[in-house]
């Protein structure tokens, strides 16, 4: 039933024979006996001892029933992500309602041709063979398909899927929401036939969603393509689950249940005897670590499919530019590169980071960044507190008047928006056709598609965008990719900032030179010596991994521990901060020596939707996730049972963004 206080199982009697765990039922609830929907978690012959006055189930809903595996996964997810029962169960039965009348097919008028399996290269063939073995034996196994951009991972997914369909089983392919373009969907429809493919993503209307789910349940569509929620597709016998671009942060849900899609995929695949393939050119450090420990089996693809050489990467040292008197946001190299590409009629992508990150403090002369000595993350400047603040441990320091490293005077907070870059581009290249692609410009429905297709048709010369440009854009005519400031990602207050920078630069570089010519990449930075940038420029994942995983182990960050985030928010700042203080004290007392409690501190996104947000972080050593979870659930129960519980208390395990 709804409401935080009512999250738990209740006991009812039922006369119907046809009741089983997973059924949806209507039951009278609470003192008023109003009728509500509930789901059966367990069925027994005898009432629990000492329980009297048991109410009766009013109706068993014949249409909605979770399978044993689905219910088990939901219950597991509740413990894993600290969500409520109903939130976990609802993932398998979204928006269940009868569809009246005819629903417009979202793919009506969608041109589909037919395609046959392509000849695999030697590398692809080897990877496919490895994946085929457990598929043939219907055994569970997890693969990390580590392949450079353009190495032909999709063809491997397609052929593995064909194998599964030939066995009479079904499969799921997930891509990040932003990359779920018509081209990607069409590729699967071309191979398996339009009617055999169901598509699930958040832009579907409610009715369309029900239609797609019906196609899956009835067995009409054995192939499901979608964003992360497709992992819950109610297929009868799953043979294969693919996560493409598995490093993408959108695979971690940011709403309750805050599940990790790969974890759910593995959990379901174990029950079905299915294979999971996580494909990426830049696997998350945690996944690569698992492949080193043989928890996942790693398969490598090192050649680009059509043997296009990797792009040439130039690192522009912005400190040097300043010394030479260039105060513009463009280095000489980037400005020259743009001019050259325009002259050759090649297209250009300029990358910028998302706005809204608290900006970090850095020295323009030497690149020094103000960081917390304890936690290793950058300390952004907060105007209202007139101090640099660590978002992990709460430490505060005054804004330095001069650079502690070089004594330079130009130390200040940092950041430029897409609009600023656009103005500058137009100033330098007034004839260029420029288009912005950021959260503001794509808010209108369909505008992202039209901006992207305009770029694909070369109606735009220069596309300026935030990270989202990196995904799904595959334009052969791109001659230059410019990363306006690699430092912004490098200094987000998150222990994964180096990993994210490496991924961003590598993925961005992958957009350049996808035709037959070598692409150019210019990375602008104040810290050209940083490993993430140097390794990305050399396309050397392994070197980056080796250095970064050592650091993680030293400071004890995931994958060497689980990081729990507790967010306390309230319309009144004093209330949020006082509650955070109380929670931190309670946790420190309760935690003992094993756990590290950090904070309280203002959350990186310290104010959202009119509420002030404070956070407490808990480092929980390997193997203690369960006991730490229980402790946090106890804390939540204690707080919500208080009379004056007006603040919101939310939890996340190993959050992706710390926003």
Stretch (H or E) spanning 456: helix 447-456
In terms of CB distance, is 202 or 554 closer to Zn ion?
554
- Smallest distance, Å, CB 375 to Zn ion? 3
In terms of CB distance, is 89 or 393 closer to Zn ion?
393
Residues that bind Zn ion (CB under 5 A): 363, 365-366, 368, 372, 374-375, 390, 392-393, 395, 403, 405-406, 408
> How many helices (DSSP H) and strands (DSSP E) are in the chain?
18, 25
Q: Which of 375, 409, 366 is nearest to 395 (CA)?
A: 375
In terms of CB distance, is 247 or 368 closer to Zn ion?
368
In terms of CB distance, is 368 or 514 closer to Zn ion?
368
Q: Is the link from the previous residue into 516 a cis peptide, with omega within 30 of 0? A: no
Distances (CA, A) of 140 to 162, 226, 241, 270, 398: 17, 22, 11, 6, 54
- Smallest distance, Å, CB 424 to Zn ion? 25
Q: Which of 58, 75, 77 is nearest to 21 (CA)?
A: 75
- Smallest distance, Å, CB 363 to Zn ion? 3
In terms of CB distance, is 393 or 442 closer to Zn ion?
393
State how far Cα 496 lies from the chain centre: 13
What strands lie across the sheet with 396-397, from one edge to the other?
Answer: 381-382, 387-389, 396-397
Q: Does residue 301 sit in helix, strand or coil?
A: strand
Stretch (H or E) spanning 450: helix 447-456
- Smallest distance, Å, CB 414 to Zn ion? 13
In terms of CB distance, is 527 or 569 closer to Zn ion?
527
In terms of CB distance, is 322 or 405 closer to Zn ion?
405
- Smallest distance, Å, CB 372 to Zn ion? 3
- Smallest distance, Å, CB 380 to Zn ion? 12
Residues whose CB is less than 8 angstroms from the CB of residue 569 and which lie 6 or more positions away in sequence, other chains included: 576, 608, 611, 612, 613, 614, 647, 648, 650
Return d(Cα 296, Cα 290) in angstroms, integer: 6
Q: Where are the beta strands (DSSP E) in 337-455?
A: 347-351, 361-363, 381-382, 387-389, 396-397, 411-413, 434-437
- Smallest distance, Å, CB 283 to Zn ion? 28
Answer for the pair 347, 478: CB distance below 8 angstroms, yes or no: yes
Cβ neighbour number for residue 420 with a 10 Å cutoff:
14
In terms of CB distance, is 127 or 393 closer to Zn ion?
393
In terms of CB distance, is 466 or 620 closer to Zn ion?
620
Length of the chain: 659
Answer for the pair 362, 319: CB distance below 8 angstroms, yes or no: no
- Smallest distance, Å, CB 484 to Zn ion? 21
- Smallest distance, Å, CB 411 to Zn ion? 7
In terms of CB distance, is 225 or 617 closer to Zn ion?
617
Q: How many CA atoms lie within 13 A of 31 on its CB side?
A: 0
Distances (CA, A) of 389 to 378, 393, 410, 451, 578: 9, 9, 19, 38, 18
In terms of CB distance, is 409 or 640 closer to Zn ion?
409
What are the residues facing 564 on neighbouring strands?
A: 618, 653
In the numeric block, which tokens belong to residue 586?
């309670």
- Smallest distance, Å, CB 607 to Zn ion? 20
- Smallest distance, Å, CB 366 to Zn ion? 3
């Amino acid at each position: 039933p709804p409401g935080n206080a009512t999250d738990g199982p209740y006991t009812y009697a039922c006369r119907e024979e046809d009741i089983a765990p997973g059924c949806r039922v209507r039951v009278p609830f609470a003192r008023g006996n109003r009728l509500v929907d509930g789901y059966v978690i367990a069925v027994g012959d005898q009432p629990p001892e000492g329980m009297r006055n048991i109410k009766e189930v009013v109706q068993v809903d014949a249409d909605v029933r979770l399978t044993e595996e689905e219910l088990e996964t939901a219950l597991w997810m509740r413990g894993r992500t600290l969500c409520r029962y109903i939130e976990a169960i609802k993932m398998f039965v979204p928006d269940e309602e009868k569809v009246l009348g005819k629903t417009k097919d979202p793919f009506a008028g969608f041109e589909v041709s037919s395609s046959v399996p392509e000849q695999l290269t030697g590398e692809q063939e080897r990877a496919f063979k490895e994946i085929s073995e457990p598929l043939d034996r219907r055994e569970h196994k997890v693969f990390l398909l580590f392949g450079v951009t353009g190495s032909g991972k999709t063809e491997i997914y397609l052929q593995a899927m064909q194998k599964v369909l030939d066995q009479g089983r079904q499969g799921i392919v997930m891509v990040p929401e932003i990359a779920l373009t018509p081209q990607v969907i069409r590729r699967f429809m071309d191979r398996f036939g339009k009617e055999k493919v169901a598509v699930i993503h958040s832009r579907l209307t409610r009715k369309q969603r029900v239609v797609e789910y019906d196609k899956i349940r009835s067995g009409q569509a054995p192939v499901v393509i979608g964003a992360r929620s497709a992992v819950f597709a109610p297929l009868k016998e799953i043979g294969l689950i693919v996560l493409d671009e598995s490093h993408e942060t959108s695979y971690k849900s940011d709403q309750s249940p805050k599940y990790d899609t790969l974890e759910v995929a593995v959990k379901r695949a174990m029950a079905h005897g299915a294979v999971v393939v996580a494909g990426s050119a830049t696997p998350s450090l945690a996944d690569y670590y698992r492949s080193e420990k043989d928890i996942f089996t790693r398969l490598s693809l090192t050649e680009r499919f059509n043997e296009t050489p990797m792009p040439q990467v130039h690192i522009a040292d912005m400190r040097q530019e300043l010394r030479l008197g260039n105060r513009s946001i463009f280095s000489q190299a980037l400005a020259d590169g743009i001019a050259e590409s325009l002259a050759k009629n090649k297209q250009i992508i300029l990358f910028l980071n998302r706005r809204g990150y608290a900006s970090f403090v850095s020295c323009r002369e030497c690149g020094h960044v103000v960081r917390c000595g304890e936690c290793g993350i950058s300390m952004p400047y907060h105007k209202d507190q007139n101090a640099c603040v660590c978002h992990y441990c709460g430490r505060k320091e005054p804004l330095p008047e001069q650079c502690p490293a070089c004594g330079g005077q130009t130390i200040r907070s940092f950041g430029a928006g897409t609009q600023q870059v656009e103005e500058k581009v137009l100033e330098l290249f007034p004839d260029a056709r420029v288009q912005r692609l950021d959260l503001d410009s794509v808010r209108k429905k369909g505008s992202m598609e039209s901006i992207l297709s305009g770029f694909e048709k070369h109606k735009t010369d220069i596309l300026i965008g935030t990270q989202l440009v990196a995904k799904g854009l595959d334009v052969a005519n791109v001659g230059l990719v410019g990363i306006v400031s690699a430092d912004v990602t490098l200094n987000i207050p998150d222990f994964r900032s180096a990993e994210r920078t490496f991924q961003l630069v590598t993925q961005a570089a992958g957009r350049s030179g996808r035709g037959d010519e070598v692409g150019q990449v210019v990375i602008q930075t104040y810290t050209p010596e940083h490993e993430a940038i140097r390794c990305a420029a050399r396309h050397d994942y392994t070197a980056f991994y080796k250095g970064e995983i050592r650091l993680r182990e030293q400071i004890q960050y995931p994958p060497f521990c689980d990081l729990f985030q507790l967010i306390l928010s309230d319309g009144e700042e004093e209330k949020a901060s006082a509650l955070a203080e109380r929670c931190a004290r309670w946790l420190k007392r309760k935690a003992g020596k094993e756990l590290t409690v950090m904070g309280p501190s203002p959350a990186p996104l310290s104010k959202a939707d009119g509420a002030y947000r404070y956070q407490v972080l808990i480092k929980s050593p390997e193997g203690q996730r369960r006991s730490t979870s229980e402790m946090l659930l106890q804390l939540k129960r204690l707080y919500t049972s208080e009379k004056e519980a007006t603040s919101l208390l939310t939890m996340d395990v190993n959050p992706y963004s710390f926003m």
